[in-house]
Structure 1
């Protein structure tokens, strides 16, 4: 699930999630956009040792 940068996801969806992540952006960046944010998230998951199960 991907929420918007203003309000995120509704509480009922957050309650159903196993994990909540936030992508930090520089203050001068207005918006990342849902497609760009999802791409950053997927890249981070692929590159992360935790995503591979190496560590938690």
Structure 2
């Protein structure tokens, strides 16, 4: 697991409980977007565009 994934894993409980800072929330969301895009670009594109 890389450093960014470890940081994100540490932040997820705070994110879920809505007690993370705005910067941490943005970091988690961006990291998840990047990971999803890398694993399945087509599925990510569909999910991203239907949520906006």
Common fold, TM-score beyond 0.5? no
Indicate the structure with greater helix content: 2
Larger CA Rg, structure 1 vs 2: 1
Q: Report the TM-score when normalising by structure 2.
A: 0.29
Q: Report the TM-score when normalising by structure 1.
A: 0.27
